[in-house]
Structure 1
């Protein structure tokens, strides 16, 4: 009996000392940080909000890597033929259940019935991806079309640039990033003829303009156009005065 008691003591000590080290003390509460509820119409926006939360807690592998799950049972140190609960799995399971609780708390009640029976955060994550995959593809196509047909029109450079940037940021957030050179091409293609000289300058550069530098050049060119418009003489005023004197 004494040997049995002494052999069980180290195992209990190891389990107790390992669990607190892996305990997810940093996991956040959804009520304070995740206000956006997933509905049938906002999956991409929800995903954009939830991924930084998961990344910030260093637990993204719980939803995007099935091989990260440790074995549930391992051989006992005292008896290789006996299986015991793996402390690493116990810690993983605790974190995963907390993450699953967070995910479910951000999903609207109308979608919850579709997730009944799923017991891990990865299972819920994959189910949602499958559920909204067609919607995501449609959103990507729509955003790319908006970007390709974007025109400055009566917009200021600031509004025009931000509108283009919003499209590219959305594509990047859903795994469809666009290179800076491609973004530059889209922005230049939507400018009016007043910007032809700037377009020619950018296109003759050997290296692509960084986006912030391109934005600065666009603002300067817009200011120059506005100044030229103010300095152009108004020929209608002298004509009106001459007509008044003649009469």
Structure 2
């Protein structure tokens, strides 16, 4: 009916902010380590703009209390304040949480935590940045990510790190195994991502050279290199190892303990059955 259509048009539209059920699915938790302040700010502002609440944190003055829109503004502001509290780490939340606060006031408290004392913070970050080494990290990716995080943190406190300086520091922290590719990067000065790709390719090349080219089976010498430790040596009596005593000379030996010339020329020991019975052994006939 025409009257019903008119009432539907007069019904106010639901504000987009009410459609967000879990802000942590959209904005990562700020801890100052894994998630830097700049990263958190960029993500938060992106979603605040998308859900039409950016004016709650950018310093825009709220409507007057006598304004008919004030009640709805306070409801939306409370939700934005929940977003801020819900994306703080357990260490930061007690420093940010305050009673009867607006979203803008909480936003300013977070800003002060990370941007106050810029001089001292910049000096500390600069020292960590120039002393970063690849050997301190489990892999190359984590090393690159730390360099990027420090460069962003330095930019937050007014010490902007250019891409060229970031590349030079990337190379400076490499071990000597990368001297060749490091020298080339220093001469050509590519951007950070290209320099990173070049170092990764060099790393893959070194790893491929370290891989074995053939399987080596241990304890398997070739047949012609085996030794016969248990065979009697020429001119030496055969020991009775099984009975703990010494054997006498074989009947096939001469008085001087040497075999005849035919036996002496043979490289391999005589068959076991060619040795006669030893003195004192029982005869099994």
Bin of the TM-score, shorter chain as denominator length: 0.5 to 0.7
TM-score (norm 1): 0.57
Residue 178 in structure 1 maps to residue 184 in structure 2: no
Residue 188 in structure 1 maps to residue 171 in structure 2: yes
Structure 2 unmatched ranges of 5 or more? 1-6, 213-285
Structure 1 unmatched ranges of 5 or more? 1-12, 74-83, 232-247
Residue 20 in structure 1 maps to residue 13 in structure 2: yes
Instruction: Please list the CA deviations of residues 59-99 of structure 1 after superposition, one character each: whole Å capped at 9, or x if unmatched.
Output: 34422x21x335437xxxxxxxxxx6254x55543321211
After superposition, residues 55-204 of structure 1 pair within 5 angstroms as 55-58=46-49, 59-63=53-57, 65-66=58-59, 68-69=60-61, 71-72=63-64, 85-87=67-69, 91-105=72-86, 111=94, 115-118=98-101, 120-134=102-116, 141-153=123-135, 159-169=139-149, 171-172=151-152, 175-176=155-156, 178-204=161-187
Instruction: Please list the CA deviations of residues 104-143 of structure 1 after superposition, one character each: whole Å capped at 9, or x if unmatched.
Output: 455659727962342x100112123334545887665444
Distance (Å, rounded) in 1 between the aligned partners of 2:40 and 2:94:
18
TM-score (norm 2): 0.51
Contact 2:126/2:154, CA 8 A, preserved across alignment:
no
Q: What do you get for the CA RMSD once the two structures are aligned?
A: 4.2
Distance (Å, rounded) in 1 between the aligned partners of 2:28 and 2:108:
22
Bigger mean CA deviation after superposition, 184-193 or 169-178: 169-178
Task: Assess, with a 3 A threshold, how the Cα gap between structure 1 residues 139 and 223 changes in structure 2: closer, same or farther.
Answer: same
